[in-house]
A and B are shown apart, each in its own frame.
Chain A
Amino acid sequence: MLVLMLEDIRKLVKRTLDGGKVDGVLALWRENGRVGPHLFVKGDDVSTLEIDPKYNLAAVAILALASGAKKIALIGRGCDERALVELFKRYQIDEDAIEFIGMACSAEQAQACECDIPYPTKIQFGEKVDGVVPNELKNVDDMSLDERFAYWRDVFAKCIKCYGCKNACPVCVCQDCVLEDPMWVKKGEIPPEFPMFHLIRAYHMADRCVQCHECEEACPMDIPLTLLYRQLRQDMKDLFDYLPGASDAKPPLTTVLEDEKLEEGA
């Protein structure tokens, strides 16, 4: 089935390129025996197109557009779509510059990412499967405060300050990152100060993390970053009925809405 889906996607990409409405199609391709991002342009051999492994292409789209392309199509998953939405909202990408072609993830992929929403809102390929709740989520929930602190302290002791989590994240778009400001995080220390480094990053992700898992995949130490970010995502939902990556809502932490009612007293 997957093979058929892949063939269909390749055909669609060819049609899209031939149609001439876009300057290119951002997807994955197999070259030199490995799979990575590629901007297909008219005339390219689409039989090299691949859909696995998962690479979040939203961040790559910024680069592809920086080359001067006016409009590109992007073959992506649920997390690509959500990341794009956040990037549109934050004026990083012009919404009209992207034609999103969505595919739903397989059950295996959803499991691999422990993804809560393994499909985009627009599904052109594949079939929707259920979201996954990581076992570890319950584990940390069940811990006492002290146990939890010890848990995270140990986990973050592994951090080698590669900034991979920041670099790989499609919605980490600040030019000057707080994590690099010596005011907040001491320079040159490995592991970096706990809890500063990781709490700051977590906080900054609260209203934008789209659970694409790129940070965790980029982490050489397999630190379960998305566990923490996922809890925050849930908080945003509970507190403000806001889910990052959902198209209509504005990020609540930096805006005050006209009709917002805040009760007095904290």
Chain B
Amino acid sequence: MSYESVLTTCPYCGCGCQFYLQVVNGNIVGVVPDKTHPIAEGALCIKGWNAHVFVQREDRLHKPLIKENGEFREAEWDEALDLVAEKLGEIKEKHGPDALATLCSAKCTNEENYLLQKLTRATIGTNNVDHCARLCHASTVTGLAHAFGSGAMTNSVPEIDDSDVILITGSNTIEQHPLIGSRMVKARERGAKIILIDPRRVPMRLFSDLYLQFIPGTDVAWLNGMMHVILKEKLHDKKYIKERTEGFEAFEKVVKKYDPKTVEKICGIPANLLEEAARMFAKAERGSIFYSMGITQHITGTDNVKSVANLAMLTGNVGKRAAGVNPLRGQNNVQGACDMGALPNVYPGYQAVANEDAAKKFEKAWGTKLSREPGLTIVEISNAARKGDVKGMYIVGENPMISDPDIEHVRQGLEALDFLVVQDIFMTETAALADVVLPASSYAEKEGTFTATDRRVQRVRKAIEPVGESREDWKIVIDIAKRLGGKGCDFESPAEIMDELASLAPIYGGVSFDRLDAGEDLLWPVKEPGHAGTEFLHEGQFTRGKGVFSPIEFREADELPDKEYPYILTTGRLMFQYHTGTMTRRTPALESESPNPFVEVNPEDAKELGIKNGDWLEVSSRRGSIKIQSRVANIVGKGVVFIPFHYAEAAANVLTNPALDPDSKIPELKVCAVAMKPLPK
């Protein structure tokens, strides 16, 4: 007889809601929202309410699998782990450490990501470690680090309550960050204004005071246009610019060229609306900007982010409460995975691997030599694998076979590897290509921490024992590290791992399980054990000293529509599914809401194509084609189509363009050219 209520953090989005898992005799049967949690406040979105459903599904991976003659067979842990160590060791021996690469996971805990990057850097000896943040906010990290010195949300989520004007762009907040979206809507009821600037008429349109629709890929132009108006009408914050920033003159010169009429031609935003939006934002006492992948996933991703930073600085909106620049991070722990150094160029706490002092510090702590050479990013790893430069990979909790651009190339890369080990909770499309599959445990079966989008470090707690013979990821990583002769991996618990991390990453300096378990809200930087954490960043001074304005010219997307491929395809997610669907598609309450892939087509385009809602289409790009049903709705503008990327049976990423932003190496998932052909009924 046992009934337990275990407080933990939602494994879906970056909002970071907490709830109590309801555990009856070792079965998780439901969730109860935490009424005392600062974000959830007793509510959840549909994913949170169903976050328990996939955990004990029949088809969880229960035993390690080894592929022989193209077929998986079950194996004992020792056999599988020995094989992994042997193969990875061999590749390292023969081809050097840089022939290996690992992918960390934004779904795993901070402690697990810390260990995996440590294994990659210290035990294997390469910086080839990356994770899906590359595909979502790599450009935020580069752009904001350049402008402010830190690439995270400048403000905390509860501050939304006190914002005067909330500018949302490239974020379908209500569907993707429901408990942040709801906060915005409620702030508006108390008098805040909402400006929505997005190529899609997303649900937030119902709550915006101004809605501006624009052509995907023209962000820099309208941002410059808004700033043009602000400067022209002298609505900028001169004092702030003078005291706190640099680079203003060069920036001003560029922005001068972007008058609203010119911008209208590029973006399709009526000049008068752009002017109105500029005024509304500039006049706000507390203006905050929220953005997401609509800004970042472009070859101009870093430019877009820098332009957003420009706008915020121009209006004096960084470094104060309820204002700021707020990139909404998608995954439950994508912020944490970045913080942990699951990136090829930085150690935990964003300390550059190329920085001699940082490298020395980590060499001392980890007792080994470290490479000063930044490693490869996700798309680069896949290219290198195709070329044969990378020969072995260890992928934890990621599914690049659905999530990455140009899936055909990803497949070729993974198939070209000499050895691939995938660690996951289900047999994913990626795991199916592996030589060894290791069964990991879900969030409900382990201790650790996640860091929510607003730098909020929160506990994840074990509600049940790992299902079947699956093991906690952190234990598996330790097992492999030890077999590879790794030092410094004698951790008894995630709490100890956090202690080591805290000693090395100053932004986590004061974070400990004890403090979190006492109910403290810790938002990094938490400098030392007595430090209360930081609600909003850059108060009084930017992390890098002065804020930097960047002069940014508009550049077109890599692939524009033409005669052959006349539509712009943009991709994204839905409320009821999550990423590659590994969890949500196994959750009936979610899957039944949005069971089928679709391409969203504007009614005018539908008319020209002679199709009705629900008709089948073949959508093709230069990289591939898929068959998919249409959904005719006035959500995308004319000439633009939208496909959610969750569905393996009609994977949007067969079509997308892997062209990279030169600075951050983020691929242009938000714009590519496609053709559409109605299929015979």
**Chain A interface (Cβ < 8 Å from any Cβ of B):** 23-24, 31-39, 53-55, 60, 63-64, 66-69, 157-158, 160-164, 167-168, 180, 182, 187-188, 190-191, 217-222
Give the residue of B32, B206, B459, B592 whose beta carbon is less than 8 angstroms from that of A191. Answer: B206
- The 8 Å CB contact of B24, one of A63, A167, A220, is A63
Partner of B25, one of A54, A68, A168: A68
B203–A167 CB distance below 8 A = no
Q: Is the CB of B32 within 8 A of A37?
A: yes
Residue of B nearest to A64 (CB): B3
B58 CB within 8 Å of chain A: no
Can you add 17 more A-B contacts, CB < 8 Å, to A31-B7, A53-B36, A162-B48?
Answer: A24-B3, A32-B459, A33-B519, A35-B36, A53-B42, A60-B22, A63-B29, A67-B1, A69-B1, A158-B207, A160-B45, A164-B44, A182-B592, A187-B592, A187-B594, A188-B574, A188-B593
Contact A218 B42 (CB under 8 A): yes
Contact B203 A32 (CB under 8 A): no
Complex alpha-carbon distance, A67 and B4, angstroms: 10
A188 touches B29 (CB 8 A): no
| Chain B positions within 8 Å of A53 at CB level | 35-36, 42
- A160 to B185 CA separation, bound complex (whole angstroms): 12
Closest 10 CB pairs of A and B: A33-B519, A220-B43, A220-B182, A68-B1, A188-B594, A67-B3, A64-B3, A188-B593, A162-B46, A34-B36
Question: Cβ of A32 and Cβ of B35 under 8 Å apart?
Answer: no
Would A222 and B20 count as touching, CB distance under 8 A?
A: no
Nearest residue, chain B, Cβ from A192? B593
Q: How far is the CA of A67 from the CA of B28 in the complex (A)?
A: 12
Interchain CA distance A107-B574 in the complex, whole Å: 43
User: Given the interface contacts A37-B20, A67-B3, A218-B33, does A191 sit within 8 Å of B575 by beta carbon?
Assistant: no
B261 within 8 Å of A (CB atoms):
no
Say whether B69 faces chain A, with CB atoms less than 8 Å apart: no
Encode B561-598 as 1/0 by CB contact (under 8 A) with A. 00000000000001110000000000001001111000
Closest Cβ neighbor of B515 among chain A residues? A33
Q: A53-B35, A162-B49, A180-B592 are in contact. Are A190 and B25 (CB under 8 A)?
A: no
Q: Which residues of A contact B595 (CB under 8 A)?
A: 187
Nearest CB on B from A184, distance (A): 13
Give A67 to B1 CA distance when docked, in angstroms: 5
Partner among A37, A168, A180 whose Cβ is within 8 Å of the Cβ of B5: A37
Given contacts A31-B7, A163-B589, contact A67 B43 (CB under 8 A): no
Given contacts A67-B1, A69-B1, A162-B49, contact A36 B7 (CB under 8 A): yes
Tell me the bound Cα distance from A34 to B36 in angstroms: 6
Interchain CB contact (< 8 A) of A222 among B18, B44, B186, B520: B186
Query: Shortest distance in angstroms between A62's beta carbon and chain B's nearest beta carbon?
Result: 10
- CB-CB nearest in chain B for A191: B203
CB <8 Å contact, A160 and B519? no
User: Complex formed: what's the CA distance from A222 to B42 in Å?
Assistant: 11
- Contact, CB under 8 Å: B182 / A221: yes
**A162 lies within 8 A of B574 (CB):** no
Residues of B within 8 A of A67 (CB): 1-3, 24-25
Look across to chain A and name the residue whose beta carbon is closest to the beta carbon of B17.
A220
Contacts of A55 in B (CB 8 A): 32, 35
Residues of B within 8 A of A217 (CB): 35, 42-43
Residue of A nearest to B588 (CB): A180
20 contacts between A and B (CB under 8 A): A32-B7, A32-B519, A33-B519, A37-B5, A37-B20, A37-B32, A39-B4, A53-B35, A55-B35, A63-B29, A67-B3, A157-B207, A160-B575, A162-B44, A163-B589, A164-B43, A187-B593, A190-B575, A220-B45, A222-B186
Per DSSP, are chain A's interface residues mostly helix, strand or loop, or mixed? Answer: loop
Inter-chain contacts of A163 with B (CB < 8 A):
46, 49, 589
Q: Evaluate contact between B29 and A162: CB separation under 8 angstroms.
A: no
Asked if B174 is an interface residue, CB under 8 A from chain A, the answer is yes
Residue of A nearest to B516 (CB): A32
A54 and B32 alpha carbons, distance in the complex (Å): 13
A128 to B592 Cα, complex, angstroms: 46
Contacts of B1-55 to chain A: CB distance below 8 A: 1-5, 7, 18, 20, 22, 24-25, 29-30, 32-37, 42-46, 48-49
Which one of B29, B44, B174, B593 has the highest number of Cβ atoms from chain A below 10 Å of its Cβ?
A: B593
Alpha-carbon distance A66/B459, docked complex (angstroms): 28
- Whether B181 sits at the interface, judged by CB under 8 Å, is yes
B43 A218 Cβ-Cβ under 8 A: yes
Q: Indicate if B517 sits at the interface (CB-CB under 8 A).
A: yes
Q: Which of B118-166 contact A (CB under 8 A)?
A: none
Q: In the bound complex, how far is the Cα of B174 from the Cα of A163, in angstroms?
A: 15
Residue of A nearest to B517 (CB): A32
**CB-defined contacts of B178 to chain A, threshold 8 Å:** 160, 162, 220
A-facing residues in B584-614 (Cβ within 8 Å): 589, 592-595
Are A188 and B1 in contact, CB atoms less than 8 angstroms apart?
Answer: no
Query: What residue in chain A is nearest B45 (Cβ atoms)?
Result: A162
Return chain B residues, CB-CB under 8 Å to A161.
46, 575, 593
B182-A160 in contact (CB<8A):
yes
Pairwise interchain contact B35-A60, C-beta atoms closer than 8 A: no
- Name the contact of B186 in the complex, choosing from A64, A160, A188, A221 (C-beta under 8 A): A221
B175 beta carbon closer than 8 Å to chain A: yes
**Which B residues touch A60, using CB under 8 A?**
5, 22, 32
Contact partner of B589 (CB less than 8 A), chosen from A54, A168, A180, is A180
Whether B206 pairs with A157 at a CB distance below 8 angstroms is yes
Bound complex: CA A220 to CA B174 (Å): 11
**B390-407: contact bitstring with A at CB < 8 Å (1 yes, 0 no)?**
000000000000000000
Alpha-carbon separation in the docked complex, A188 to B32 (Å)? 23
Specify which of B49, B175, B207, B589 is in contact with A190 (CB 8 Å cutoff).
B175
- List residues of chain A with CB within 8 A of the CB of B594: 187-188
B179 at the interface (CB under 8 A from A): yes
Question: Closest residue to A218 on the B side, CB-wise?
Answer: B43
Find out whether the CB atom of B43 lies under 8 angstroms from the CB atom of A162.
yes
Residues of B within 8 A of A54 (CB): 35
Cβ proximity bits B514-539 to A, threshold 8 Å, 1 near / 0 not:
00111110000000000000000000
Known: A53-B35, A67-B25, A220-B179. A34 touches B206 (CB 8 A): no
Complex: A161 Cα to B46 Cα, angstroms: 7
Cα distance, A24 to B4, chains bound together (Å): 12
**Which residues in B have their C-beta under 8 angstroms from that of A218?**
33, 42-44
B29 in contact with A66 (CB, 8 Å): yes
By the criterion CB–CB under 8 Å, are B518 and A36 in contact? no
Point out the residue from A33, A68, A221 that lies within 8 Å of B185, measured CB to CB: A221
A68 to B30, CA, bound (A): 17
The smallest beta-carbon distance between A225 and chain B, in angstroms, is: 12
Closest to A36 in B: B20
Question: Which residues does chain B contribute within 8 Å of A191, judged by CB atoms?
Answer: 203, 206
Q: Which residue in chain B gives the minimum CB-CB distance to A157?
A: B206
Chain A residues within 8 Å of B459, by CB: 32
A113 to chain B, nearest CB (A): 13
Q: Is the CB of A69 within 8 A of B175?
A: no
Complex CA distance for A86 and B34, rounded to whole angstroms: 25
